[in-house]
Amino acid sequence: MCDPKDPDYQIEELRVQIEYHNYNYHALDSPEITDAEFDRLFAELQRLEALHPHLIVSGSPTQRVGSAPLKKFQEVTHTVPMLSLENAFTDADLAKFDHDICTELKLSKVAYTGEPKLDGLAVSIRYENGDLVQASTRGDGTTGEDITQNVRTIRTVPLRLFGNDWPAVLEVRGEIFMRKKAFNTLNTLIIAQGGKPLANPRNAAAGSLRQLDPTVTAQRPLSFICYGLGIVEEPQEPLPTNHQELIYYLINWGLPISSELSYLKDLEACRAYYQDIGMLRDSLDYPIDGVVFKVNSFAHQAKLGFRSHNPRWAIAYKFPPEEQLTRIEAIEFQVGRTGAITPVAKLRPIQVGGVTVSNATLHNIDEVTRKDIRVGDLVSIYRAGDVIPKIGQVHLEHRPKFSEVTKLPDLCPICGSKILKPEGEAVARCTGGLYCPAQRKETIRHFASRPAMDIEGLGDKLIEQLVAKKLVTAPSELYSLELSQLVNLERMGAKSAANLLTALERSKTTTLARFIYALGIRDVGETTAQALTQQFHDLNSLMHASNEALQNVEGVGLVVAEHIVTFFQQLHNREEITRLLQAGLQWSSTNVPKKIPNMHLEGKIFVLTGTLSRPRSQIKAALEARGAKVSGSVSAKTDYLVAGADSGSKLTKAKALGTKILDESALDLLLKEAQN
């Protein structure tokens, strides 16, 4: 019946061999054959499958990356919810956990299993009759996302279970993560390609899993470790009766499990395990942030049951955040895409939690001043959970003798324009708006946007290409683009290139207000641009206006006036304006818009709170232009509270007083109405 010459037989034989070697290599880290031999087996399977395409099945090792990119992830409902774990941070927390369990079970001691708590993402993988049919994220515990195509690309995830004694339906639960070495290599590659490095292995794993295109995930070095079960239907053999036994089942089915898993006979053994793994933590190649203890016996687990979000029979005992000492070798000032200047500490490279750290953000100059952080300082670097490395303590006793106070530079390190830091604002900014390469993409995007020059067809992707290929380094250069340059760009046909040129030509006839807005002066929104136009009528007067004169304009306070004056003071910006005018941008003095006639919000008192998407000064200007007042605190006189994310006491107070509360979209609506 089984003729070894049969392609069916040969193909099946090769698949079993390949999966076996795959498992040895990826899950056990102990290959039995050379890479070349493995490649030969794989190539042979590919050859046979190509000859007999009807024999290809989705479980074949050649089919790990099989499908086209998705538009979006589908939802998956977890019949057995994916719960989280209660945390313990101290020995006392752990003792209480054990004490409660012993009391509930009326036992003097209870046996547990200990496993490292992997720092990755929980996943549920469903096998039907031994074949992987679905993989999903945890989501909110009840509904997750279908990431089957991506999980199939992970080498340690079997596409087909080993043996044949598995239940007809078997859901396994585990963690997908990125090994530290793989993470560091990936980041080196990203940096070499000019990309932004990933913050930590956990983010790297999450980002890799959430790719709609499985070919991208396939290139990311992800791993999987299995630690439990979800739904199980129609078992063929009696199911295991404890966690330790379950692990043997999982191993036999070819599922990777943690090599550090231990049986722990009581609380004392748990304590020792926590210490042991803590010592091993740095040398392990996978990121962990604690250990997980589970009551070993399933009968005991069933008796203990669940709370709303976590089982009573398990706990995660977390490690304290890791800290390391290193020196600050330099402090650089980076320029963001909106011109924000961020101080960054360049560190003597150091391993923290297994990840090489050589940079730490210092957020803003005020923070640097407050902590008095200087070049040469010895500092503690820590990573807590999934956050980016931070500077903790500055060890002043080790400060070099002649260290200097860190100062905000006067000029932008990228373009040499003046840096401005308005009173009371934490963020300093480069004023080289139109000129600064760091702000190029953002400047052009803003310039082309609908309320500005309204250049149809000039979207983000196109801007990215134009900037990357250095076809456009400033907005004025948009107007010298040629058809031959455009047609060579990705996703650009002759027709859309011609349309873009027409749109560029059309945009040249504009209004002064649009032009002023398009310049992207900090805090000068559409309303302020209009108000400026009404006051100054022509560009030249605006460019020479004094700070005081500007403050007479509705919505322009001290800070905005300073932004305007400094913007026009920069030679680069003036030169760019000249180039724009030379390119043919024009407006007639007759289309200066009328003053906003309606003061619908006259006398109304607004308070702003929480995180808002635009600078407060901008919202304030828009409100004041419509006759409203903006106050700093909520009282019975307040008419509206504009509440962004994370609003705190002001929101509570406004609620108590019955003040009308607006979110940003409600505010926009109100502003729009007040303008008509």
| Pick 296 or 609: Cβ nearer ligand IVH | 296
Closest CA to 74 of 168, 176, 144: 144
Tokens standing for 294? 């589970």
Site residue total, ligand IVH (CB under 6 A): 15
On the CB side of 375, CA atoms within 13 Å amount to 13
Does 563 sit near ligand IVH (CB under 6 A)?
no
Does 270 sit near ligand IVH (CB under 6 A)?
no
Parallel, antiparallel or unpaired: strands 605-609 and 428-430 = unpaired
Which listed residue (84, 275, 369, 569) binds ligand IVH by CB under 6 A?
84
Which listed residue (61, 114, 167, 228) binds ligand IVH by CB under 6 A?
228
Tokens standing for 346? 């360049």
Does 274 sit near ligand IVH (CB under 6 A)?
no
| Pick 314 or 347: Cβ nearer ligand IVH | 314
Does 83 sit near ligand IVH (CB under 6 A)?
yes
Choosing from 71, 117, 196, 294, the catalytic residue is 117
Beta-carbon contacts of residue 517 (< 8 Å; ≥ 6 apart): 451, 452, 524, 525, 526, 529
Does 316 sit near ligand IVH (CB under 6 A)?
yes
Does 48 sit near ligand IVH (CB under 6 A)?
no
Stretch that binds ligand IVH, among 69-77, 116-124, 185-193, 242-250 (CB under 6 A): 116-124
Q: At closest approach, how far in Å is the CB of 292 from ligand IVH? A: 4
Annotation marks residue 117 as catalytic: yes
Which listed residue (73, 127, 183, 227) binds ligand IVH by CB under 6 A?
227
Q: At closest approach, how far in Å is the CB of 115 from ligand IVH? A: 4
Q: At closest approach, how far in Å is the CB of 14 from ligand IVH? A: 34
**Biggest alpha carbon distance in the chain?**
97
Measured between alpha carbons, how far is 157 from 254 in angstroms, rounded to an integer?
Answer: 9
Stretch that binds ligand IVH, among 82-90, 351-359, 472-480, 528-536 (CB under 6 A): 82-90
Measured between alpha carbons, how far is 478 from 486 in angstroms, rounded to an integer?
Answer: 11
| Pick 9 or 89: Cβ nearer ligand IVH | 89
Does 438 sit near ligand IVH (CB under 6 A)?
no
| Pick 73 or 224: Cβ nearer ligand IVH | 224
Does 179 sit near ligand IVH (CB under 6 A)?
no
Closest CA to 167 of 130, 205, 139: 130
The helix (H) or strand (E) run that includes residue 508 is: none
Q: Given CA atoms 342, 347, 352, 355 in this order, what sign does their dihedral have?
A: positive
| Pick 292 or 347: Cβ nearer ligand IVH | 292
Q: At closest approach, how far in Å is the CB of 386 from ligand IVH? A: 12
Q: At closest approach, how far in Å is the CB of 272 from ligand IVH? A: 18
What three-state secondary structure class fits 144? strand
Does 205 sit near ligand IVH (CB under 6 A)?
no
| Pick 314 or 452: Cβ nearer ligand IVH | 314
Q: Phi first, then psi: give them for residue 110, nearest 5 degrees.
A: -130, 145
Measured between alpha carbons, how far is 469 from 471 in angstroms, rounded to an integer?
Answer: 5
Does 202 sit near ligand IVH (CB under 6 A)?
no
Measured between alpha carbons, how far is 56 from 43 in angstroms, rounded to an integer?
Answer: 14
Contact between 140 and 44 under an 8 Å Cβ cutoff? The reply is no
Task: Give the chain's length.
Answer: 676
Q: At closest approach, how far in Å is the CB of 257 from ligand IVH? A: 9
Stretch that binds ligand IVH, among 231-239, 311-319, 388-396, 407-415 (CB under 6 A): 311-319
Does 446 sit near ligand IVH (CB under 6 A)?
no
Tokens standing for 620? 């304030």
Q: At closest approach, how far in Å is the CB of 313 from ligand IVH? A: 9
Does 532 sit near ligand IVH (CB under 6 A)?
no
The helix (H) or strand (E) run that includes residue 378 is: strand 378-383
Does 175 sit near ligand IVH (CB under 6 A)?
yes
Closest CA to 408 of 434, 433, 427, 435: 427
| Pick 251 or 549: Cβ nearer ligand IVH | 251
Does 311 sit near ligand IVH (CB under 6 A)?
yes
Query: Residue 16: how many CB atoms within 10 A of its CB?
Result: 13
Taking phi first (over 0 means left), then psi (-120 to 50 degrees means alpha), and beta for anything else, what does residue 77 get? beta
Secondary structure of 226-268 as H, E, C letters: EEEEEEEECCCCCCCCEHHHHHHHHHHCCCCCCCCCEEECCHH
Residues that bind ligand IVH in the complex, under the rule CB under 6 A? 83-85, 115, 117-118, 122, 138, 175, 227-228, 292, 311, 314, 316
- The set of catalytic residues is 117
